[in-house]
Amino acid sequence: MAKNKTIFVCSECGNESSKWLGKCPACNSWNTFYEQKVVETKHGNLKESNKQPAKPQKLNSYEAKETIRTSTGFGELDRVLGGGLVKGSLILLGGEPGIGKSTLILQICDKIKGEGKVLYVSGEESAEQIKLRADRLGINNEDILFLGETDIDIVNQAIIETNPKLVIIDSIQTMYSDEITAAAGSVSQVREITSQVMRVCKSRAITTIIIGHVTKEGNIAGPRVLEHMVDTVLYLEGERYFSYRILRGVKNRFGSTNEIGMFEMKDKGMCEITNPSDVLISEREDNPPGSCIVSAMEGTRPILVEIQALTAQTVFGMPRRTANGVDYNRLALLLAVLEKKAGVMLGSQDVYLNLVGGIRINEPAIDLGIIMVAASSYKNVAIPKDMVIMGEVGLTGEVRKINLIEKRIKESEKLGFKTCIIPESNKKLLKEKYKLDIIGVRDIKEAMNKIGLR
């Protein structure tokens, strides 16, 4: 007779314990133990077992089938997914509360009209609440089926009976299984429920989108193994009080993880932005000191973004450094290079840096732009409005080569810019001729001379 028992497993390192521990003795992580049921059975030899041993086969003997995809109706979302929804795939969508996850998913349900049934399972909202949102968004799809349930056994039964094209679970933290004694939303519940949904949907080739809550650090709530179980992990990012949203692929078994999709939240729901560069620099009418345009790459797409800097005499003993949209430590490093290698003394200045539009960029190609706007604000000299600046800056003040320079220049040329400052090492490798004036620089002093900041 099989005997059930409970053990506690660390979600970080997998260490097991017979009782719950606040701190894992193996990896020293706090509050990482979750409850897991274990079934002990008598182990027999392979001949006595009913299971047949699997025989390894040559990889070349398998025939790779073409991936079947369904368009979501959003070109930006299709780009992030690698071309659309893959049949039988399991997608995890995370984001902060109020960022627009449920709105985006409901719009997808409407845009795939005619492809088959859609089962929308919600453990957070009632049918009346979903219907009110659907009416506000102008959604009218007769194939959308709603199920307000949190018991995963009932949900799985509904999936089997309806056999939909797409299943939405909003959210995974509200579902529970009777097999686990822990409360809904705990790591053990989330892991078990995801495993059950994956078995049911993959066996029937049903595409499934799971909505997940995030922690205060911005990660998906629950065990890290959850992100390993699913095929695709998407994060919907953006400031809650900004209208722009960025959909970023963190994991994708069927496409690239470097692509992003950009949306704008309006009264009619999410609207995709096909040309982010034009939107992010559209309100830059005048030409004040401390502002310039930089070129950043998100996947295979170049995006032009405006960087603003403000320097002011500090009234405290230690000057402030504030960065919005870029890494704070990177800003501090670049300001130190500006002081040491260009003689711009900012030791008595507060420095505030901002990327317009609420977007966040970690690419080093915007280093030269950050240094130039800080020097522009300090010297009160404006950078030409029709200039784009790009380049990585090293600790000795040199401007280093960046990748995909041709795409960056073509995007700048398309939007009507006249001058482009790039690393000299990149300029030597250019083969095409462009309408804009391309200036190559070797270090930050030369760049400042070209702009008129020295």
What number of other Cβ atoms are within 10 A of residue 114's Cβ? 8
Which pair of tokens denotes residue 360? 């966040």
pLDDT at residue number 221: 56
Nearest Cα residue to 417 out of 263, 284, 262, 274: 284
Structure confidence by residue, pLDDT tens digits, 288-334: 899 999 999 887 788 999 999 999 999 888 899 999 989 999 999 99
Residues in the chain predicted with pLDDT less than 50, given as ranges, are 1-2, 39-49
**172: exposed, middle or buried (Cβ count in 10 Å: 0-12, 13-18, 19+):** buried
pLDDT at residue number 46: 37
Query: According to the 3-state scheme, what is the secondary structure of 323-358?
Result: EECCCHHHHHHHHHHHHHHHCCCCCCEEEEEEECCC
pLDDT at residue number 97: 83
pLDDT at residue number 41: 41
Q: What are the boundaries of each domain within the chain? A: 1-42, 69-274, 279-451
Query: Is the distance from CB of 175 to CB of 193 less than 8 angstroms?
Result: yes
Structure confidence by residue, pLDDT tens digits, 50-70: 566 778 888 888 777 777 888
Q: Are strands 207-212 and 69-70 parallel, antiparallel or unpaired?
A: unpaired
Q: In whole angstroms, give the CA distance from residue 435 to residue 419.
A: 9
Residue with tokens 């809650």: 240
pLDDT at residue number 58: 86
Nearest Cα residue to 354 out of 277, 397, 292: 292
Query: Is the distance from CB of 249 to CB of 259 less than 8 angstroms?
Result: yes
Architecture of domain 279-451: 2-Layer Sandwich (3.30)
What's the half-sphere exposure (Cβ side, CA atoms, 13 Å) at 417? Answer: 29
Name, in order, each residue with C-beta under 8 angstroms of 324's C-beta and a sequence gap of 6 or more: 352, 353, 354, 355
DSSP state of 30: B
CATH 3.20.20.140 fits 69-274, yes or no: no
What number of other Cβ atoms are within 10 A of residue 442's Cβ? 14
Identify each DSSP E strand in 96-192 by its residue range: 118-122, 144-147, 166-170
* DSSP per-residue codes, 253-274: TTS-SS-EEEEEEETTEEEE-S
Side chain identity at 338, as an amino acid letter?
L
pLDDT at residue number 59: 81
